[in-house]
Structure 1
Amino acid sequence: MVSLLSLTVLGVIVFWLVDRLRKIGSRESGLPPGPPTLPLIGNLNIFPTSRAHLKFTDWVRTYGDIYSLKVGPGTAVVISSPRRAKECFEQNSSTTSDRPAVYVGELAYQGIQLSLARYGPHWRNMRRATHRLLSKDASRAHVPIQHAEASQLMVDIIEDPKNLYGHVRRYSTSVILAAVFGVRCATSDNPFIAEFFETQRRFEHILRPGGAPPVDMIPILKYIPERWAPWKELCRDFRARQQKYFHRLQEKCVDRIAKDQRNGSFVEYLLEHGGDYEFDYEKTCYLGLSLIEAGADTTAMALQFFVLCMLAHPDVLAKAQREIDDVIGHDRSPQLDDLKDLPYVRAIINELHRYRPGSRTAIPHAATADTKVGGYLIPKGSVIFMNVWGMGRDPELFDDPERFWPERFINSEFGTKPGADTTGFKDVPFSFGAGRRICPGMYLAVNSIAINVMNMLWAFNFDLAKDPATGLPIPVDADNTTDGILLTPKPFTCDITPRSGAKVEMIRNQTKAAQPIFDRFGHAGLEDVI
């Protein structure tokens, strides 16, 4: 017969288990506020699986600029103001600079990709090596190829204005390829362009919040068989494709070194000095591909959004062109150093970053220790999202935040309304991240965007395309984007025309004059990479 003591012990165990299960998914004491939770799953039922930045920003209105979400037993914290971002990612950088364990990233990159790597010695070595290529001072060395490729971009637009989308992708890919692997992409129809961007887009789709099951917060999900988990197959296919063409790019560097035909590329340097950073052949390759991934897409996306905004706001285009004409004139094309004398053009670029930031929720951080932010607890192991979209949409900071209005950056340094609290604002757009994980290529990207925005304003007029059946203008939509970590504009139509025949001739001549710069990267192209 079962004794009374045994029944009592069994009852205590059952009560303890029920109590523990009941608490799973609930919000612990000290956490930031957030939506009501359900037992076991927490907020998993309402966690956004598409365009997370919109829901993250909607919740700000109810729960404030720091709030929490429970995903099973795990915790996610969303930071939605520059003030909280400064406190979290800069003042507490020692405990908020990690990345969460990303199972799909581990499948794809084996933990050695710069953006997703965990905080530790290997990441620090990658960051230290990258500083040699992309620091503010080092980025000045890439200005000649940026200007040369920008001239080529203008020629491409003149000859094939309907393919703006492809031309800006060629530009951004060619610049970062030249700096990192020492090769350039001369034409927008090169197979590498299509292969690279299509592969990236598919993988970004599962990296976004909700793009794959929350394996990292509910680890048992990693044991789902592959036939029921298509994201596993995608990750393995992604890795195989990347290894194929990035190994081939690296072999070109090896070949140039063997033939004493070095052109100063970053990977050449790493192949000869990798021991200083504890890099082997594979780690060198993956650092190179990390930089291509980060640099090719974001710059192209920014330029595509720039054209969309000019099409939607012809008054802004006209005002910017008047400033360009007054400062630059018509006898030469703009140079990067001209930007300091173009306040309205700078305002357009700043407003572009606010209005359509490159990464709307950034790559999440992870807490390596309990951290206090805004008086709330961010527990060790929490995933921390920086809601960049929400920062630029705060009505307490910005007048009419849904409006594209560059004048706000003429009226104040950060585009904020009079009397707004600008704690945490900085010169670098928040879309590049914050703290120790801020994008190392931000200076190269900022320079590319500035050079091409000035060139396009100086060289071209942008008009809405006409419907051939009705003759009516075809409207553009800046919200018609892909859905991933980067919300890239989907292809759109427009009419682009040179502002004068004299400028066309000038553009062609300066592109011919840039041939010695192109020749530096001409020992081997991309023909055999794909």
Structure 2
Amino acid sequence: MTMSGLLGWSFIALGAFIFRYILKVGSRETGLPPGPPTLPVLGNIHQFPTKYTHIQFSRWGKQFGGIFSLKIGSGTMVVISSPRIVKDYLDKRSASTSSRPHIRMVEMITDGLGFAMISALGPVWKSLRRAIQMFLTKEACRRHLPIERVEAIQLLYDTLKQPEDLFTHVQRHATSLILSTVFGVRSPRYENSTVTEFIDVQHRVEAALEPGAHPPIDLMPILQYVPERWASWKGICRDIRAKQRKLYVGLRDKCEARMREDRRNGSFLETLFDQKDALGLTRDMIGYLGGASLEGGSVTAVSHLQTFVLCMACHPEVQARAHMEIDQVVGSNRMPSLEDFEHLPYLRAIVKEVHRFYPVVPMGLPHASTSDEMVDGFFIPKGTTLFMNIYGIYHDEDLFEDPEVFNPDRYLSSEFGTKPGVDTAGFRHDFHFGCGRRICPGILLGDTMIMMNVMNLLWAFNFKAVDMNKRDPHVPIQYTDFTAGLATGPKPYQCDIKPRSQERADIVRSEFAQARPIFSMFEHELSPEEKDFVAHW
């Protein structure tokens, strides 16, 4: 055979090899969990939902089982919607499942300092984790109870004055509480620039990071080299980064200035600055850790409380029963206290049912496997992106009776709200806070915020469905009544809110007036407009 002929056959063989390799890209490897059919190169990209990802993932979970896989180009994604597998794999083997997948958009936005999404369990993550655990110990949370209590009282007072603006009152309350405890500065009104800037940035982040909202840049790295004029996500990241950095760095610098002027008020950042060398923290790490605390604490509380009010307004029979219970335990002569919560079993069931009915982060945050593992007879390779479908677990018809129906009674007849006969060995009450080493460290603070506000709101007010975006109040609440995104909550709605009695309204006004000395400790940097606003209170 001539040299030219040999070269020709070599090129043919090489082309055939490349062609066969390309055909394998996107195919599900032997041993992976089952999943929807794939296409060469694309895998399941063509089927990937662009919003309400958890709904489609829940449908696939019913079709393929408690663990299934998707192929995104050459990358692999595994979705788990079985409590038993969550416990056996994500919890018990968290040493190999607690990293985060490399998410280019997150790194571009946060410079790699976003605590919740740091990919590797390396020294930066460990330093940030040690620091945030200091803020969230039982003792630390007790120290913040005074400002937590009076911020909850302001939520009642604002709702009493302007009930039609409940949505913004809840957003102001949650954001101001975390700003006070973390950065040492509060927001007495929603129109405060810090509140509105944070809400705007957070909505942009959630929309940008929802699975399917943008091309799979990390699973198909070649997309990173697409020019910005054809890659809108690059401009989105740059814009979010600038807004977020301005906000968090500005709040950090204000805290440092107060410390220099000896005007401390016990905020978390003061502790971080005092111990930054021992903890191995830089000034940027401190600013972004404060921002992560603000994101995790406020977003969860806002969504839960807005969902709670929606469910009360649409289920008057549940609200009436809760009113009866709280009246028997607390009465009408005083506001509830945290100690009352243990004596309110139906109210506790309502809180659990709100978490189950529509979890704030329905898909949780993604994990990444750092070693090959066998799980339930399937092979999970190193580098797999892992999702716990929290919504899918909580809406599994095999686990819960009528899961699409809001029914707190399920938690009175069963510890985990499950159907009779269900094996609950792998169940936890806190799936909505995540799993493994990456479980949310703010569970204690978040639970306290929710307990306090749910008791207060039910003690003080009646909520009645009115119009509700022109939806029939007799039709069960649908997932389309909630926003799409990485974190989700009810779409804006209106309901009729009235104080349950004049006596209760007077107690709210009196408690709010007595809260002024505590508020004033966190109001050093108010704008002239806000000082005038506070003076007119």
2:72 pairs with 1:49: no
Partner SS, residue 47 of structure 2: coil
Corresponding residue number in structure 1 for 2:436: 435
Instruction: Report if the CA contact (8 A) 2:205-2:240 is conserved.
Output: yes
Write the distance in 1 (CA, Å) between the matches of 2:136 and 2:527: 23
Shifted more, 447-456 versus 15-24: the winner is 15-24
C-alpha RMSD of matched pairs (Å): 2.0
Instruction: Report if the CA contact (8 A) 1:183-1:526 is conserved.
Output: no
Moved over 6 A (4+): 472-476, 526-529
Equivalent residue pairs, number: 526
Write the distance in 2 (CA, Å) between the matches of 1:359 and 1:301: 10
Corresponding residue number in structure 2 for 1:2: 3
Partner SS, residue 404 of structure 2: coil
Instruction: Report if the CA contact (8 A) 2:349-2:411 is conserved.
Output: yes
* 1:465 Cα deviation from its structure 2 partner: 2.3
5+ long unaligned stretches in structure 2: 531-537
* 1:7 Cα deviation from its structure 2 partner: 4.4
- Of 185, 207, 210 in structure 2, the residue corresponding to residue 208 of structure 1 is 210
Partner SS, residue 421 of structure 1: coil
Q: TM-score, normalised on structure 2?
A: 0.94
Say if 1:527 and 1:58 are closer, same or farther in 2 by CA, change over 3 A: farther
Corresponding residue number in structure 1 for 2:356: 354
Written as runs of structure 1 = structure 2, the 5 A alignment for 1:172-211 is 172-211=174-213
Corresponding residue number in structure 1 for 2:249: 247
1:286-336, CA deviations, whole angstroms, 9 ceiling, x for partnerless residues?
Answer: 111111111111101100000000011000000000000001111111111
Corresponding residue number in structure 2 for 1:410: 412
* 1:229 Cα deviation from its structure 2 partner: 1.6
Write the distance in 1 (CA, Å) between the matches of 2:178 and 2:185: 9
1:168-206, CA deviations, whole angstroms, 9 ceiling, x for partnerless residues?
Answer: 011100111111101111112223222211221122111
Corresponding residue number in structure 1 for 2:371: 369
Instruction: Report if the CA contact (8 A) 2:97-2:369 is conserved.
Output: yes
Shifted more, 130-139 versus 103-112: the winner is 130-139
**Aligned-partner residue type, residue 50 of structure 1:** K
* 1:371 Cα deviation from its structure 2 partner: 1.8
Written as runs of structure 1 = structure 2, the 5 A alignment for 1:102-501 is 102-118=103-119, 119-428=121-430, 430-465=431-466, 477=477, 479=479, 480-501=481-502
Corresponding residue number in structure 2 for 1:15: 16
Instruction: Report if the CA contact (8 A) 1:362-1:388 is conserved.
Output: yes
1:384-409, CA deviations, whole angstroms, 9 ceiling, x for partnerless residues?
Answer: 01100000011111111111000000
Partner SS, residue 116 of structure 2: coil
Corresponding residue number in structure 2 for 1:79: 80
Corresponding residue number in structure 2 for 1:516: 517
Write the distance in 2 (CA, Å) between the matches of 1:203 and 1:97: 22
Say if 1:90 and 1:473 are closer, same or farther in 2 by CA, change over 3 A: closer
Partner SS, residue 45 of structure 2: coil
* 1:21 Cα deviation from its structure 2 partner: 1.2
Write the distance in 2 (CA, Å) between the matches of 1:297 and 1:247: 20
Say if 1:187 and 1:25 are closer, same or farther in 2 by CA, change over 3 A: same
Instruction: Report if the CA contact (8 A) 2:307-2:354 is conserved.
Output: yes
* 1:477 Cα deviation from its structure 2 partner: 4.8
**Aligned-partner residue type, residue 211 of structure 1:** A
Write the distance in 2 (CA, Å) between the matches of 1:151 and 1:277: 35
* 1:59 Cα deviation from its structure 2 partner: 0.4
Write the distance in 1 (CA, Å) between the matches of 2:25 and 2:452: 52
Instruction: Report if the CA contact (8 A) 1:344-1:410 is conserved.
Output: yes
Instruction: Report if the CA contact (8 A) 1:478-1:489 is conserved.
Output: no
Corresponding residue number in structure 1 for 2:26: 25
5+ long unaligned stretches in structure 1: none
* 1:453 Cα deviation from its structure 2 partner: 0.5
* 1:3 Cα deviation from its structure 2 partner: 5.4
Say if 1:473 and 1:103 are closer, same or farther in 2 by CA, change over 3 A: closer
Instruction: Report if the CA contact (8 A) 1:151-1:507 is conserved.
Output: yes
Corresponding residue number in structure 2 for 1:70: 71
Q: TM-score, normalised on structure 1?
A: 0.96
1:242-298, CA deviations, whole angstroms, 9 ceiling, x for partnerless residues?
Answer: 121222211111111111111111111111211122111111101111111111111
